[in-house]
Amino acid sequence: MAGESHEAYCVKCKAKRAMSDAKQITMKNGRPAMQGKCPVCGTTLNRILAGKAS
């Protein structure tokens, strides 16, 4: 996943932005997600990825 550009919707900017400092996480329900920061305003961005909860 390193080097890939992940986009997510920023609710503060009201626009789709490429995440900076993106990393893959696992949510409480077991689903994979990407989490990073908006490069414009610094808000935390989340994007749920495809995959099953384990």
pLDDT tens, residue by residue, 9-50: 999 999 999 999 999 999 999 999 999 999 999 999 999 999
Question: How far apart, in whole angstroms, are the C-alpha atoms of residue 45 and residue 52?
Answer: 21
Closest CA to 22 of 32, 36, 10: 36
- For the question of whether the overall pTM of this predicted structure is more than 0.85, the answer is no
pLDDT bin (cut points 50, 70, 90) of residue 1 is: very low
